[in-house]
Amino acid sequence: MTTTFADLGIAPALGEALTALGYEEPTPIQREAIPPLLAGRDLLGQAATGTGKTAAFALPLLQRLPPGAPPSSRPAVLVLVPTRELAMQVAEAFHRYGRAFGAQTVPIYGGQAFDQQIRALRRGVHVVIATPGRALDHIRRGTLDLSGLVSLALDEADEMLDMGFAEDLEAILAAAPAERQTALFSATLPARIITIANRHLKNPVRVLLEQKKVAAGKLPKTRQTAYMVTRAQKVAALGRVLDLEMPTLALVFCRTRTEVDGLVESLGGRGYQAEALHGGMTQMQRDRVMKRTRTGVLDLLIATDVAARGLDIEQLSHVVNFDVPESPGAYVHRIGRTGRAGREGVAITLAEPREHRMLRNIEQVTGQKIEIARLPTVFDVRAKRLEVTRASLREAIIGEGLESYRVVVESLAGEFDVMDIAAAAVQLAHEATAGPAEEESGPPIVDMSPPPERAVRASAPGAYTVHASAPLVSGPRASAPKASAPRAGERPVAPSRAKRRTAGMSRIYVGAGRKANMRPADLVGAIVNEAGIAAAAIGGIEITDNFSLVELPDESVDAVVTALRATKVKGKRLTVRRDQATRRPT
């Protein structure tokens, strides 16, 4: 039986707000935490980001706001969070959920002008979301009055202690009215957290999420990979990953209906046959989608957990988690749908840097490694496609039926080099199946994965380095064959060459390509003349429609980038930068 928000005691007005957000059912932490918090109990909860913990306390605390109470300079709810980013995020969540009650929320954090915060507090609010240091400053100045506090929540308490806020927390807790309700959430429960809980929580309900190890035999044979990207770039990153993986059929899991619908639209625009499956659909709509799935028409089935329950699809090659699932159990459940019948399945997870902890947790529970991989670049995608073409050619050569085509080769051989004839034939074959080469457009996708040496322990915020700025590629997917002849006299450069990394060499990116009439000679000329590099030292050059890549000795890259930025190439100032993707070990 499915538990609904209403079953947990959530009022219809709030429930409607959740439906509008596309939430289909409560997450485990919400199931456990909402009823006792609604009943006014104190609570100690172990939950990391991504589990739905914000709603687990925001919903009941909002519902417990004194009915009809106007916003006041004595707020009813105070939430303490470790960082400014989280303050904004949690405030945004309270705002979205609390609209139903007309709840006024304000975030206050260090680094923002006091005046502005004081004005907001004076105007009156119901909920204050604050970082501990700034909250304490306001309490001491008399600009944050805790005397009307009904509930106090500590979010990511372990993080607040790690950041040195222990004394501030003690001081704030001591300043809050004794009869308030307190909820403490923390991803881990070290002794210091337990001490705070023992001192400041009254007979708390404890909510510890399942940490049961999963029996090894229960997990299918599945390649598990995660990519770290920001929320804003997830759709573009997913497109790139799918282009590389070329799934027969992928089941893509999203948290909400709204996300499902959005993805269907954007991936459909990329040329994928994608269909939605979520709780808002009628049985007839579901049946139609399942029929299309089973007959092999679809590339992607995009679903919420609820809608995908009980689905058993034989031909599933990939499971994609558009977000890290809310619990290790949900992860195991999801990825268990691929890798059936002894075949190797593929499970791909897109994670935001802040969800890194959830990934680690899943690894611990499953005892299996989730490899954090570098986002594929446009060149990786092209190289993969060429690989597919190469494999098909191999089959054609080994197979029979070439006889009738030999005549064509022979008739051209008098005029052209056989190698050129073969290359032209490969090009036509490639473009007929793989489609035209993709074009660069939009902002670059930033790979947020931690550098390799930190991959294992990077759980603290800030432990990530942003690297790689591979150009974002969008455009039609490789299914629609389109003729795109190369310009006269120009031989296409094999993209695989761009991927081959020569030791001691790195690439630079120059923001102009074929469309700007950029030719290899222009690049060589500019590099030789402006940076004083010998032409012979310059490695491979690749020119695409919109940009060019030039391979250079590692030690001369910085000098060339500086020199080219300072000059005009073909009469224009160009974007020039080191192409980060070449520097990282693969």
**Chain contacts with ligand AMP (rule: CB under 6 A):** 23, 26-27, 30, 49-55, 255-256
Please identify, using beta-carbon distances, which residue of 51 and 449 lies nearer to ligand AMP.
Answer: 51
CB 65, min distance to ligand AMP, A: 20
> Could you tell me the CA-to-CA distances from 408 to 64, 402, 403, 405, 416 in Å, in that order?
81, 11, 10, 5, 12
Closer by beta carbon to ligand AMP, 59 or else 531: 59
CB of 228 to ligand AMP, least distance (A): 16
- Least distance to ligand AMP from the beta carbon of 132, Å? 19
Closest CA to 13 of 61, 68, 63: 63
Residue 340 contacts residue 314 (beta carbons within 8 Å): yes
Q: Which is nearer to ligand AMP, 23 or 227 (CB)?
A: 23
Tokens of 330: 């949900």
By beta-carbon proximity to ligand AMP, the closer residue of 26 and 461 is 26
Is residue 370 within 8 A of residue 350, CB to CB? The reply is: no
Residue closer to ligand AMP, measured from CB, 79 or 533: 79
Shortest Å distance, C-beta 31 to ligand AMP: 9
Nearer to ligand AMP, 53 or 240 (CB): 53
**What span, in angstroms and rounded, lies between the C-alpha atoms of 207 and 194?**
13
Residue 485 token pair = 């002849």
Task: Tell me the DSSP string of 82-150.
Answer: SSHHHHHHHHHHHHHHHGGGT--EEEE-TTS-HHHHHHHHHH-BSEEEE-HHHHHHHHHHT-S--TT-S
Amino acid at 227: Y
293 half-sphere exposure, CB direction, 13 A CA radius = 25
* CB-nearer residue toward ligand AMP: 49 or 366: 49
Q: Which residue has the tokens 């029996």?
A: 215
β-bridge pairing 576-578 and 505-510? antiparallel
DSSP class per residue in 339-407:
SGGGPPEEEEEEE-GGGHHHHHHHHHHHT---EE-PPPPHHHHHHHHHHHHHHHHHHHHHSS--HHHHH
Nearer to ligand AMP, 53 or 126 (CB): 53
Residue 458 Cβ, how far from ligand AMP at the closest point, in Å? 18
Check: CB of residue 220 under 8 Å from CB of residue 345.
yes
Q: Quote the least distance from Cβ 211 to ligand AMP, whole Å.
A: 17
